[in-house]
Structure 1
Amino acid sequence: MSEPQPSVLFVCVHNAGRSQMAAAFLTHLAQSRIQVRSAGSAPADTVNPAAVTAMAEIGIDMSAETPKVLTFDAVQASDVVITMGCGDTCPVFPGKTYLDWKLDDPAGQHLDAVRLIRDDIERRVRALLDTLLPAGT
């Protein structure tokens, strides 16, 4: 029997920039080996177009993504919950790992600034991936 997949939830208030980019990176890099979710306590209407553009530049398509509302079920179903330094709070359940990544908000930023945020998120996601999946999997 195979090991259960780890699951990660990225949370930011609007679920329109940082959390969407982090989820897209982890989905891309994990190649179906991790369950990935993202959500926000007050989701925006759409994903930040600059975030979509910055990710498309490196071959990751987020154009079909939509902001989703944070639910207790999403937190409870996740092994790791990562907030994005945006003051969002999550329900706390025993046995979960909670991390807070201090990241600049891409909202209202020029594309050059969003690229820097994207690159920071990529570094963090790659480090996270190394902790979640054993070498060689």
Structure 2
Amino acid sequence: MTKPVVLFVCVHNAGRSQMAAGWLRHLAGETVEVRSAGSEPRDQLNPVAVEAMQEVGIDITTAVPQLLRTETVQDSDVVITMGCGDACPIFPGKRYEDWALTDPAGQPIEVVRQVRDDIRTRIEKLAKELQTA
């Protein structure tokens, strides 16, 4: 069986989607292929998101915001969007979820920690579902 491909999408690909990708890599290891992208990617990660993830032992400093491409969606099995609206193309047969999460851009570390922890809870559930699929 091939491993599932999970794509996390947010507007800037600098905070939420990168934290989600970091969590899934950390919790699922090599059992899942993880991607992330943004409809309007920034040139660097949100430093507060990086700091919040480092607090729990996850290093996302090497991640680079990527532009969302139709092919990336097409080549993914699960697409999780986080506030990017209709920017994400829809393909039949894919699993889509939209996670309503606070945008960490410009937020203090206390708010970003809450977003990080909310994402972890969702990732734990997703990882279990992927293992039993």
- Normalised to the residue count of structure 1, the TM-score between the two structures is 0.94
Counterpart check, 1:36 vs 2:34: yes
For 2:44 and 2:37, how far apart are their aligned partners in 1? 12
Contact 1:11 1:88 (C-alpha < 8 Å) held by counterparts: no
Query: What amino acid is the match of 1:5?
Result: K
Show the counterpart of 1:133: 131
Structure 2: 5+ residue runs without aligned partners? none
For 2:114 and 2:86, how far apart are their aligned partners in 1? 22
Q: 1:103 aligns with which of 84, 101, 104?
A: 101
Show the counterpart of 1:55: 53
For 2:39 and 2:102, how far apart are their aligned partners in 1? 18
Would you tell me which structure has more helix in proportion to its own residues? 2
More displaced 10-residue stretch of structure 1: 85-94 or 58-67: 85-94
Q: Paired residues, what number?
A: 133
Structure 1 residue ranges, 4+ long, deviating more than 4 angstroms after superposition: none
RMSD between superposed Cα atoms in Å: 1.2
Show the counterpart of 1:120: 118
Q: 1:6 aligns with which of 1, 4, 7?
A: 4
Query: What amino acid is the match of 1:38?
Result: S
* CA-CA distance at 1:88 after TM superposition: 4.9
* CA-CA distance at 1:104 after TM superposition: 0.2
Matched ranges for 1:13-28 at <5 A: 13-28=11-26
Aligned-pair identity in percent equals 59
Contact 1:12 1:88 (C-alpha < 8 Å) held by counterparts: no
Change (3 A) 1:44 1:88: farther
Q: 2:66 aligns with which of 65, 68, 83?
A: 68
Structure 1: 5+ residue runs without aligned partners? none
Query: What amino acid is the match of 1:125?
Result: I
Change (3 A) 1:88 1:43: farther
Change (3 A) 1:120 1:88: farther
* CA-CA distance at 1:64 after TM superposition: 1.1
Query: What amino acid is the match of 1:83?
Result: T
- Normalised to the residue count of structure 2, the TM-score between the two structures is 0.96
